[in-house]
Amino acid sequence: MPVTAPSFPLIAPSLLSANFAALGNDIEMINHSRADWFHIDVMDGVFVPNISFGFPVLKHIQRIAAKPLDVHLMIVDPDRYLERFYQHGAAIITVHYEACTHLHRSVQAIRKLGARAGVALNPHSPVSLLEDIIQDLDLVMIMSVNPGFGGQSFIEATLGKLRHLGELMEQKNCKPLVEVDGGVTLENAGLLVKAGATVLVAGNTVFGTADPAGMIGKLKDLEETG
C-alpha cells in the first residue's frame, strides 16, 4: 500500500491536560481522532517546578495508544533514562538544550535507539544555540511558555523565534519538524503555522472543550492567518 504523506500541521494533544481519572477514555478519544501524536510531558520537579508522568503511567499509555508517543523530557540528566523511555514506546524523544551537558551525545544516543531526536529551547534561549547541531535533529521544539505547568499564556515573542529558526534551517539546508509547545489556541495556531510551525502541542485547548475530537479536527483544518 502507498504511504500517505502526513498532513500538516501535525497535532499532538498533551496528556498533561487529560482527565487522569479517566485517562484510558481520553487516550481512546485521541486514537479515534485526527490527532497525529500523543504528547507526553515528563517532569522531575528539579529541572521544572512540577512532577508528572513516570514509567508506570507511561507503560499503561503505551498499551492503549495507537499513535506515536512524543515524549518531552523536562528532566535533569536525561541520558540516564533514554533507553527506558524508548522501551516504553517513545517514538520521538525531546531533550532540553538547557539540561544537556553533552547535547550531541544525547542526540546520538536517541537516534541510535531508533527514536526521532528532538531538542527543546526554553523561551529565554535563542535559536542560535542550535547552530552546530540542527542538522542532526529530527525535531526542534520551541517552548512558547515557561515549562512546568499547563494552561499558561502564550509568549508572543515565539512568532519571531520561529521565523529566526526558519532562517537557520534554510542556512543549514535542513528541515527538522518544528514543534510549538505551550499556549496554543485556535486563535494563534494559524499564525504559528505561518511562522513555520509544523507540529502543534495542544493541552487545555483540546481537553478543556466539550468536544475534544472536534477541536483536534479544527486545528488540523486551520487556515494560515495573520
Q: Which residues are catalytic?
A: 41, 181
* C-alpha grid cell, residue 52: 508528572
Name the residue with cell 535507539: 113
Q: How far apart are CA 34 and CA 48, in angstroms?
A: 31
Sheet holding 90-96, edge to edge: 10-13, 199-202, 177-181, 139-143, 116-121, 90-96, 69-74, 38-43
Phi, psi of 102 (to 5 degrees): -125, 80
DSSP state of 186: T
Q: Are strands 139-143 and 116-121 parallel, antiparallel or unpaired?
A: parallel
Burial of 164 (0-12, 13-18, 19+ CB in 10 A): middle
Q: How far apart are CA 200 and CA 162, in angstroms?
A: 13
